[in-house]
Amino acid sequence: MENYKGLVWLGVLVLFLGQAVPARAATEVSLAGGEVQLTYTVQPGDTLSGIAQAYGVDLDKLIAANRLDSDLIHPGDLLLVPGHFEPVPAFVSRGEVGRSDLMLLARLIYAEARGEPFSGQVAVGAVIINRMASPLFPKSIRAVIMQHSGGSYQFQPVADGAIDLTPDASAIRAAISALNGRDPSHGALYFYNPVQAQDPWIRTLPVITRIGNHLFATERSAAPTFFPEGVTAGLPA
């Protein structure tokens, strides 16, 4: 019965995306067998070439699938593994997360982080999930993403309409990973591009980590007692 529910849900997803997403992209997130593309969490001592060899994947394809600029990886990074798949998470197959919420999260990820490494896309989704668990923010995906005060939205894509862009397969898979508890941001409540950010306040927040072009930060009262290698608390360099 669980597999049947998963197949029905995925069939709806295919129909929803069918006209806007290339067939190959849609297939990668909605196989008839109720599977999605496999993700791998980088462990200490891992190398990209070693992971590619272990899964029998061409190194260049592994780099391209994850939009990496080099073969440098860090423990905790999430990687898509081309050509390998895993079962759809139970929360999806059971319908615990509605299609509209999943797709809204995927649309935000796509609008904010398309072109970023897959791990960075998951981290953007994780910020939304982390906000839901914080007393400072609303308690649903839609309410967090659509939150505004004084006429200003929390997320620029909501204000400028980019939230309505159709997400690609990577953004949908990143949304599923974030909903499944993956958090490369290490508990961040905020993210921003230091080259583009105009708000001086956000630059005062403790930075937890950097992934691609985004810095991930938290409230000062919630600053972690450790920081990933190469990252220090306080203002970004």
Contact, 208 vs 186, CB < 8 A?
yes
Which of residues 35 and 82 earns the better pLDDT score?
82
Q: Taking 50 as the threshold, does the pLDDT of residue 12 lie above it? A: no
Q: Where are the beta strands (DSSP E) in the chain?
A: 35-41, 78-87, 148-149, 152-153, 190-192, 207-211, 214-217
The model's confidence at residue 37, banded by pLDDT at 50, 70 and 90, is: confident
The model's confidence at residue 24, banded by pLDDT at 50, 70 and 90, is: very low
pLDDT at position 198, please? 81
The model's confidence at residue 236, banded by pLDDT at 50, 70 and 90, is: very low
The gap between the terminal CA atoms of the chain, to the nearest Å, is 53
Tokens of 9: 């849900």
The three-class DSSP label of residue 4 is helix
Q: Which residues does residue 103 pair with via DSSP β-bridges, in sequence order?
A: none
pLDDT in tens, 86-133: 777 666 656 677 778 899 999 999 999 999 999 999 999 999 999 999
Kindly report the number of other CB atoms within 10 A of residue 131's CB atom. 21
Residues in the chain: 237
Q: How far is the CA of 211 from the CAs of 18, 21, 215, 217, in angstroms? A: 31, 26, 7, 11
- Whole-model pTM: value is 0.73
**What structural domains does the chain harbor?**
2-179 (1.10.10.2520)
pLDDT at position 222, please? 60
pLDDT at position 93, please? 59
The model's confidence at residue 34, banded by pLDDT at 50, 70 and 90, is: low
pLDDT in tens, 128-161: 999 999 999 999 999 999 998 878 899 999 999 9
Q: Is 56 left (phi over 0), alpha (psi -120 to 50) or beta?
A: left
pLDDT in tens, 158-180: 999 999 999 988 898 999 999 98
pLDDT in tens, 189-222: 999 999 988 888 889 999 999 999 999 999 987 6
pLDDT at position 208, please? 95
* Alpha-carbon gap, residue 125 to 108, rounded angstroms: 8
